[in-house]
A and B are shown apart, each in its own frame.
Chain A
Amino acid sequence: MEIKVQNYKDTRSGFGDGLLEVAKHNPKVVGLCADLTGSLKMGDFQKAFPERFFQVGIAEANMIGIASGLSIGGYIPFTGTFAIFSTARVYDQIRQVVAYSNKNVKICASHAGVTLGEDGATHQVLEDIGMMKMLPNMTVVVPCDYNQTKAATMAVAEYYGPVYLRFGRPKVPNFTPENEPFVIGKAQMIHEGTDVSIFTCGHLVWKAWEAVLALKEMGINAELVNIHTVKPLDTNAILKSVAKTSCVVTAEEHQRNGGLGDSIAQLLAMYDPKPVEMVAVDDVFGQSGTPEELLKYYHLDTVDIIEAAKRAVARKK
């Protein structure tokens, strides 16, 4: 696909714009928010559809329950709050009345990962993908930029079942084509290569693209695949890519334990064991700082992906 930075936008704005757009066409879409409409970019939806917007206050557990009830009544609730409060704070609620009960609730989570920045570790959830992917019935979607988050928001509305949609706070390159349809569970080939497969999701897709360009200069032809749906995993696409390249780098803004890399390593261990290098947070909490400083400090940056790719290629020999 053609990579072209159209502008710099936050993925949460993709969520807000996608929600507004899909709600225009689908009268069953409703929104709930726990006192963070500004941060979640739900203001336009609220203004356009006040009767379909539920401000629940700072009461996330109640929000998940209300969303479950609305879905029983035939609606498609989108809950919005920070990723930490969307998952860890309400894990049992999600487990019982959303996932196990198989309700059509979309848990929409902003400010995920260290790129939340200055608020620090209390708010920088790095365990959410793991928590959510462990729940049966749950689909986990981690789009990479504004365009893709908008498309994913609209796509999950048309899919029946519990979904965890993870996005973030900072403005980042918006580089995937506008109006590209989002297919849940279908990995997105960004760049074909032969020497190493880079599987990534979320903000690190752009970092991995920078790495691909740098690796090319070094004579390494990397393949870049955006695993925007962490669950269900597109196992065919992954195995096909690895059959070609024979080594892997995974990159994500998440703990190594329980993340995307974990899922891919499990898949490869079972079906096609090959060297895997993981770019992820290594069992520590984050801290305050700017998003770019934190990506660098926790080794989630372009250079870290480049180094991981070199190690993976070396391990093939």
Chain B
Amino acid sequence: MKIDELKDVASQVRRDIIRMVHACQSGHPGGSLGAADIVTALFFDQMQINPEKFAMDGNGEDVFFLSNGHISPMLYSVLARRGYFPVSELATFRRLGTRLQGHPTTAEGLPGIRVASGSLGQGLSVALGMAQAKKLNDDNHLVFVLMGDGEQEEGQIWEAAMYASAKNVDNIIAIVDYNKKQIDGSTDDVLSLGDLKAKYESFGWMVWELNGNDMQEVVNTLALARNNAYNGKPQVLLAKTEMGMGVDFMMGTHKWHGTPPDDEQAAKALAQLKETLGDY
């Protein structure tokens, strides 16, 4: 897909995010907006997937896991826009009986979701298991997993990071949504991540750095990582993003991590985001 087209999709995803969290007056808009470009690029350009025929085992296709499940509105929008389920279903987000639970789950059978997530630190391990299954199946497709940067504070991440390089799991591409913010404030203030690049490198990973809100750079880096897969090392993309990206008053602060906009704020936000594919 052309870069401009991808940007158009991401703009619609951002509109969906604002409308979803506004409608139910709960959810996490900040991180969702920040990660919209990366996940749009994955599902609309970089991953080889079969949205029309969702299969839990993901055999013969690339597989994506969202480890930081709280940015579910972004994932739901991307999945719906990509054809996994009707976009009209986005209106049910966080409502009683919905398949679009606050955090993604498999219990309601939503196509595109393969495991429950949101209890942080677990997605990388699950993705590693999937990557091992792909190797057992002689399936050359890749496993992608998106994590938060605050999530890097979880110890299990580092169990998984150690495992991945020790066992040469080189069919996995991890992405850190590196917005340097978490719910209580900046990551520097809450618990400094230190030199995340050096940490991953010392754990035996190949590290890519990029601007995760520059669509061209996102696509280019994902393509480079794709081509570099099966070279003996796991890979991680440290994608510098801006929490709240696309809505001026939601950027530069952690305030919108888990707070929905009111009517006025939502209108103000939507005025800044082009409707490109039609609102749901």
- Residues of A at the B interface (CB closer than 8 Å) are 30, 51-52, 54, 56-57, 59, 61-75, 77, 92-93, 95-97, 100-103
Contacts and interface: CB of A to CB of B under 8 A. Distances in A.
B266 interface: no
9 contacts: A57-B159, A62-B125, A63-B125, A67-B129, A70-B132, A70-B133, A73-B133, A95-B119, A96-B118
Interface in B48-74: 56-59
Given A70-B129, A72-B58, A61 B136 contact: no
Interface centre among A56, A59, A73, A97 (most CB of B within 10 A): A73
Interface centre among B125, B130, B136, B137 (most CB of A within 10 A): B125
Give the 5 A-B residue pairs with the shortest CB-CB distance, closest first. Answer: A69-B129, A65-B125, A73-B133, A59-B159, A62-B159
B107 A69 contact: no
A66 B126 contact: yes
A212 B128 CA distance: 50
A68 B126 contact: yes
B105 A100 contact: yes
Q: Main SS of chain B's interface residues?
A: helix
Contacts of A103: 115
Interface of B: 56-59, 105-107, 114-119, 121-134, 136-137, 155-156, 159-160, 162-163, 166-167
A291 B280 CA distance: 65
Contacts of B119: 92, 95-96
A73 B58 contact: yes
A163 B280 CA distance: 41
A101 B125 contact: no
A64 B129 CA distance: 9
B133 to A, nearest CB: 2
Contact of B163 (A56, A68, A72): A56
A26 to B, nearest CB: 13
A72 B114 contact: yes
A59 B162 contact: yes
Given A72-B129, A102-B107, A57 B163 contact: yes
A61 B130 contact: no
Contacts of B134: 73
B105 to A, nearest CB: 7
Given A59-B159, A97-B126, A68 B136 contact: no
Nearest to A99: B116
A96 B107 contact: no
Nearest to B133: A73
A77 B136 CA distance: 13
